[in-house]
Amino acid sequence: MNHVAGAVSSLDEIRTLIGNLPGADLEAGTAAAARERVLTKPEGSLGRLEDLACWMAEWQGRHPPAISHPRTAVFAGNHGVAARGVSAYPPEVTAQMVANFVAGGAAVNQLCRLFDADLRVYELGLDRPTADFVENPAMSEQECVTAIAYGMTAVEPGIDLICLGEMGIGNTTSAAALCLALHGGTAADWTGTGTGVAGETLRRKIRIVEHAAARHRDRAGDPLGILAALGGLELAAIAGAVLAARMARVPVLLDGFACTAAAAVLHAVCPRAIDHCQVAHCSVEPGHRRLLERIDRKPLLDLAMRLGEGSGATLAIGLLQAAAACHQGMATFAEAGVSERD
């Protein structure tokens, strides 16, 4: 996979890569569906857990599916637009929270310990924020490509599930601008409180999203160009990790609004590009629920979370572990001597 990452040197090459992504392993999916039908339960009685077992088999390319080496990858980047006061916290909090992740003091650390997930934190030039996208593109094409390629390196051999998350003051502003440029509507449709802004600060944030999307309207119809103009280094890296996971047959759990917005860029290029992804939870950010409708995804959890840092994605590991355990460990009707329905 590092070879693939090193080979990507332009957005055109990434467009080509998206057009040639491998599909699901239908043989593994068929085997999983066949087993689900003969387990000691009424068919469909485990609901989405049954669907998740089949989905994991298809995208791991094996049956039965298993979650034994999950990874949580948190990408951290700073946004030039943060200098306009769109967050309740100053930009230096990004680096401070990265230090907290390393020290083990964040929520995601506790969740990774609980589910025995390997936590990796990827810093993307925290001392060099993206440009203020109200005035200029956030990233040059080369900066965007480099971030995408860096994100690809998070998918290493041996992991069988990757949970993606982010840390970056200003990234809900970036996510809202991306969604507005990709899907239309109004800035108010996509812009929420983020870290807890309200009143005039929230109104200013909405105006900034509106102005930024208008400033770069010449990129309409070019999702990767929109990512470079309105995204962040950490969001581009998430897109890269999603692509690398697809190539390596590793299922993906996406975290909240910003993370899903990054994946939605790939969906806008090719809707099937994120079929190997599940959205772990629905954030309270109003744009997230709207975005999930646009990309036709149903979240696994809806717990009014809005923390980011991969917390919701890591929490959902438990659901996938439960789905895999029931699928593999339950007895069949024949094994248990239980009569099947007439």
Q: Which of 13, 36, 309, 335 is catalytic?
A: 309
Beta-strand pair 70-77/118-124? parallel
C-alpha closest to that of 295 among 282, 308, 309:
282
Angle at 102 between CA 101 and CA 103, to 5 degrees: 90
pLDDT of residue 88: 94
Question: What percentage of the chain has pLDDT greater than the value 90?
Answer: 96
Distance CA 234, CA 76 (A): 5
pLDDT tens for 170-209 read: 999 999 999 999 999 999 999 999 999 999 999 999 999 9
Element (H, E) at 71: strand 70-77
Q: Which pTM does this prediction carry? A: 0.97
Query: Which residue stretches of the chain are H helix?
Result: 2-7, 11-18, 26-38, 48-60, 93-103, 107-115, 141-152, 171-183, 187-190, 199-215, 223-230, 233-248, 257-269, 286-294, 311-315, 317-329, 333-336
Q: Coil, strand or helix: which one is 144?
A: helix
pLDDT of residue 342: 76
The reply to whether 309 belongs to the active site is: yes
What pLDDT score was predicted for residue 7?
66
Quick count: other Cβ atoms within 10 Å of Cβ 179? 29
Burial of 127 (0-12, 13-18, 19+ CB in 10 A): exposed
Choose among 126, 155, 169, 296: nearest CA to 239: 155
For residue 77, which phi and psi values (nearest 5 degrees)? -150, 155
Cα distances (Å, whole numbers) of residue 300 to 30, 42, 49, 314, 320: 23, 22, 10, 12, 10
Cα separation, 335 vs 107, in Å, equals 42
What confidence score (pLDDT) does residue 2 get?
39
Q: Which residues pair with 37 in a beta bridge?
A: none
User: CA–CA separation, 95 vs 77, rounded Å?
Assistant: 9
Phi first, then psi: what are they for 64, rounded to 5°? Answer: -80, 160
Question: Pick from 272, 236, 276: which is nearest to 252 by CA?
Answer: 276
Determine the pLDDT at residue 183: 98
Token readout for 253 is: 């759990």
Question: Cα–Cα distance between 117 and 16 in angstroms, integer?
Answer: 32
Q: How far is CA 66 from the centre of its chain?
A: 20
Number of Cβ atoms within 10 Å of the Cβ of 302: 13
Q: What span, in angstroms and rounded, lies between the C-alpha atoms of 5 and 153?
A: 7
Low-confidence residues in the chain, pLDDT < 70: 1-7
> Quick one: pLDDT at residue 5?
44
